[in-house]
Chain A
Amino acid sequence: MEDETFTDISGKAISLDCQNHSSLCREFVVSVPKVSIGKVMVYTCCVWLLAYAVFFFTENTAVLSSAIFITLVGMMLHIHFVKVDHETLLVIGSLGIQLSSSYASGRETTTFIEIGKIKDIVINEAIYMHQIIYYLCVLLKDPSEPNAVSRVVPLFQSSKPRLNCLMKVYKSCQEILSKC
């Protein structure tokens, strides 16, 4: 359970936590930095100053209450649907792989992929404008053709760790997947 300094592709610090439950089961948790209070305050101040300015000209109190309402609703929607707190990858040999994203409000979305559908876990490159982005993905088997890949499921999409972090996760996963 080491905690070297990893960063994501835009340079923000993230942390990786590897847990070895048994020789067959490993769990990797990538945590993204939480919502910073400074940013929240800046946004709310901007919105409310704007609302006051509009109120100054229109003398309508509905503007102020709607600004408050919009700020609150926007914050709630952001932490519930947008802001990811940590992403987990649980690899269980001969059972499957489980991916889960946990949001800042506590909501968790989980997907489990059975071992029968998994072809391999690989690190893939994507070229986006001037950047080359490495991402870890799961290749799924095609039921009709044994050698084709039917789908590619990318992992750690919100935290987007860099190659050093991905390599660590990749090596651990391959150790388990190669055993079964």
Chain B
Amino acid sequence: MVLKIFFPQCCNRADSGLLVGRWLSGHDSAVVLAVIHYPFIPGQVKQYIQQIQASSGVELSVLGSWSLPKEGQEGMESFLRDLSTIFPQKRWLQINREVGKTGFNCQVLQRDQNGRAIPREIKKKVEKTDGEAGGDGQKKEKKKVKKKKEEKQKEEEEKKEEEKEEEEDEEEKVIFVHYEQRKVMLSQLHPVENGVSDPKTDPPSELRQMFQSVALSQPLYFLDRYDDGPLKSTHWQSEGREASIIVELLKQSTVPLCMLLRWLLSIWTWICNIRIFSLPPLRFLSSKLSTCVQLSYRTEHMRTLSSPKRTTEHTEFMRKANMVVSVLVDMALGMLLMWWLYKDNHISMLANTLVPAADHVAKELEELLQWLMGAPAGLKMNRALDQVLGRFFLYHIHLWISYIHLMSPFIEGILWYGCLSACFGLTFALSLLSDMVALLTFHIYCFYVYGARLYCLKIYGLSSLWRLFRGKKWNVLRQRVDSCSYDLDQLFIGTLLFTVLLFLLPTTALYYLVFTLLRLVVVLFQGVLHLSVDFINSFPLFAVALRITRSYRLAEGVKFRVLCEEPGTALHLMMEINPLKSSTVVQLYRTPTYSCYPKDSWAALVKKLFVGELIYPWRHKTTKTD
């Protein structure tokens, strides 16, 4: 069987001592987490390991011994081998390395049932040329020296192997996998598996177990070499613990901030729950206005952010971080917009152009209606119906224009206070704009509804009478067309009505077409606004920034690199983290929103338009997610 040893890069030059780590269950591998140096008291080592095991929950144990003998420390090997009797293990690893050389030797001692140690002396040399050990110039000399030694060793090996071959059938091979401890500790393997794994499925994979052991053994990395304790260990933080003051300050300040947020939210919820606001018409209105929807959405976010529980899980942490960043970016963009609007009197300029613009639109609509009432595009319309519809719509426009004129002195004030809402965020300004557009084009919506209803009625009437004309009927019970024998007077009246409706069709159809197009233009504009609001709401800026700057934190997997080998030696691999693709990051960490998405496909939309059904192309998803 092949034994895999995950060895941290920081321990490559550690002084001799004991290897502390974990054997991975279900796989023939071990993860080395730290090296505890000589001199030590075995009792204290055992106590320390039990302490760390209790606080971290990782099954730590002493894996074996590591020797990098300095001058005057000969004879360590035999001492370290005797240690295997003090720490009873099933397998005892003896890894040694000599100063001035870049080779690793590994011996594995197995315990048989009687507790005797049977050494499997297969010496494997491992060379490293990853730039850490020595300079380039020395390597060539080392290689020459090593080759001679290797030849000698190979001869010895061969002899031993011949002897051993009678005893054991398989050779035990060792693969050293080097990893960078700090990066593996901070990284999160995707797909994220939260909580307890299902005992029915296979045990977690080797890599996942390895990542988990490194990440959960945080208490092991607290002792550094400047501590005056009885034990000295080497790991990635042994040069002294580092931390960022800003991060620590932010962490401390989150508690009072969360309390403040919770208090503000409670006041806001109290205001919202006042009896007046829960009347049905207001409730219906607030569900239609996008500003109110956006407000409730952001309140939900704030509620999640201000919860008193500390986040431990990765997905929850990323979600909260994305929310915070999104809110901050939103506010910053809103402030920018406010600054642009309020300087140089842009608001009064906007207000001054608004009323003339509305007038202009009204005039254009009137001209359009006059055109329709005449002979549009050369088509001859039915005079009476034409005049009725035309005058009806003209009166509507007249009403609307008078309301606009009534409101014109207040417009600047309304705009001024409305733009203040941009301080809550750009999304609020955009939703307010969308609502205002909806209100101002309400008459177009009304015209569209009238035109569509009329047209729809006409089409249904026509189709039903056409069936009568052919002697058929729609069977509601069977949902199909059946033949039917009509009386003579039924047929007579039916045919008459059919011809009337048929000849009135072009007029209604034209009005319907014109107003549907206008409505679609407005809907398109609102759709663009909603899409941009949705984009700002849901885009995971924090996750993308993390992927760009600290790509090792979001890991899709690992990649291996073979470090230079000499033939006949064991395998030496460098394990690096393979980061997630940016598209996967965006897809995975999108904040769920009440997103506006097109409800119908293109074909369904065209069919609806043709039949005359009212279209509401953008549908809001409910904010409740599973």
* Cβ contact within 8 Å between A114 and B206: yes
14-60 of chain A: CB within 8 A of chain B: 20-25, 27
- When distances are taken between beta carbons in the complex, the residues of chain B under 8 Å from A21 are 562, 565, 571
Encode contact with A along B1-36: 1 for CB under 8 Å, 0 otherwise: 110100000000000000000000000100000000
Q: Is A100 an interface residue (CB 8 A)?
A: yes
Tell which of B324-332, B364-372, B553-561 binds the partner: B553-561
560-586 of chain B: CB within 8 A of chain A: 560, 562, 565, 567, 569-571, 573, 578
* Cβ contact within 8 Å between A24 and B562: no
* Cβ contact within 8 Å between B565 and A24: no
Q: Is B173 an interface residue (CB 8 A)?
A: yes
Q: Is B205 an interface residue (CB 8 A)?
A: yes
Which one of A23, A94, A98, A116 lies within 8 Å of B559 (CB-CB)?
A98
Which one of A92, A93, A116 lies within 8 Å of B560 (CB-CB)?
A92
79-121 of chain A: CB within 8 A of chain B: 90, 92-95, 98, 100, 110-112, 114, 116-117
- When distances are taken between beta carbons in the complex, the residues of chain A under 8 Å from B313 are none
- When distances are taken between beta carbons in the complex, the residues of chain B under 8 Å from A154 are none
- When distances are taken between beta carbons in the complex, the residues of chain B under 8 Å from A23 are 173
Which one of A22, A27, A90, A94 lies within 8 Å of B28 (CB-CB)?
A94
* Cβ contact within 8 Å between B560 and A90: yes
Interface size on A, residues (CB 8 A): 22
- When distances are taken between beta carbons in the complex, the residues of chain A under 8 Å from B557 are 111-112
Encode contact with A along B310-339: 1 for CB under 8 Å, 0 otherwise: 000000000000000000000000000000
* Cβ contact within 8 Å between B578 and A24: no
Taken together as a complex, chains A and B put the C-alpha atoms of A93 and B2 apart, in Å, by: 8
Q: Is B207 an interface residue (CB 8 A)?
A: yes
Which one of A27, A111, A114 lies within 8 Å of B205 (CB-CB)?
A114
Shortest Cβ distance from A146 into chain B, in angstroms?
10
- When distances are taken between beta carbons in the complex, the residues of chain B under 8 Å from A27 are 562
* Cβ contact within 8 Å between B173 and A24: yes
Interface size on B, residues (CB 8 A): 24
Q: Is B175 an interface residue (CB 8 A)?
A: yes
| Residue of chain B at shortest CB distance from A24 | B571
- When distances are taken between beta carbons in the complex, the residues of chain B under 8 Å from A90 are 560, 562
Most buried by B among A93, A94, A114: A94
For the residues of B in contact with A, the DSSP-based class is strand
| Residue of chain A at shortest CB distance from B581 | A109
Taken together as a complex, chains A and B put the C-alpha atoms of A92 and B207 apart, in Å, by: 14
Most buried by B among A22, A93, A114: A22
* Cβ contact within 8 Å between A22 and B202: no
Q: Is B201 an interface residue (CB 8 A)?
A: yes
Q: Is A73 an interface residue (CB 8 A)?
A: no
Taken together as a complex, chains A and B put the C-alpha atoms of A117 and B28 apart, in Å, by: 16
Q: Is A143 an interface residue (CB 8 A)?
A: yes
Given known contacts A24-B173, A114-B206, A114-B207, A92 and B559 CB-to-CB distance under 8 angstroms: no
- When distances are taken between beta carbons in the complex, the residues of chain B under 8 Å from A93 are 2
Shortest Cβ distance from B176 into chain A, in angstroms?
11
Shortest Cβ distance from A118 into chain B, in angstroms?
12
Given known contacts A22-B570, A24-B571, A92 and B175 CB-to-CB distance under 8 angstroms: yes
Taken together as a complex, chains A and B put the C-alpha atoms of A173 and B201 apart, in Å, by: 28
Which one of B175, B207, B560 lies within 8 Å of A98 (CB-CB)?
B560
Shortest Cβ distance from B114 into chain A, in angstroms?
29
Shortest Cβ distance from B441 into chain A, in angstroms?
37
- When distances are taken between beta carbons in the complex, the residues of chain A under 8 Å from B573 are 25, 92, 95
| Residue of chain B at shortest CB distance from A98 | B560
Taken together as a complex, chains A and B put the C-alpha atoms of A92 and B560 apart, in Å, by: 9
- When distances are taken between beta carbons in the complex, the residues of chain A under 8 Å from B177 are 95
Given known contacts A24-B2, A25-B562, A112-B578, A92 and B571 CB-to-CB distance under 8 angstroms: yes
Taken together as a complex, chains A and B put the C-alpha atoms of A111 and B569 apart, in Å, by: 26
* Cβ contact within 8 Å between B4 and A95: yes
Taken together as a complex, chains A and B put the C-alpha atoms of A110 and B1 apart, in Å, by: 27
Taken together as a complex, chains A and B put the C-alpha atoms of A112 and B175 apart, in Å, by: 17
Taken together as a complex, chains A and B put the C-alpha atoms of A117 and B206 apart, in Å, by: 11
| Residue of chain A at shortest CB distance from B2 | A94
What 11 additional pairs, Cβ within 8 angstroms, besides A95-B177, A112-B558, A114-B205? A21-B562, A24-B173, A24-B175, A92-B571, A92-B573, A98-B559, A98-B560, A112-B557, A112-B560, A116-B202, A180-B2
What 3 pairs across the A-B complex have the smallest Cβ distances?
A94-B2, A110-B559, A22-B571
B-to-A contact residues, CB < 8 Å: 1-2, 4, 28, 173, 175, 177, 201-202, 205-207, 557-560, 562, 565, 567, 569-571, 573, 578
- Subset of 16 A-B contacts with CB under 8 Å: A21-B571, A24-B2, A24-B173, A24-B175, A25-B571, A25-B573, A90-B562, A92-B560, A92-B573, A94-B2, A95-B4, A95-B573, A111-B557, A114-B206, A114-B207, A116-B206
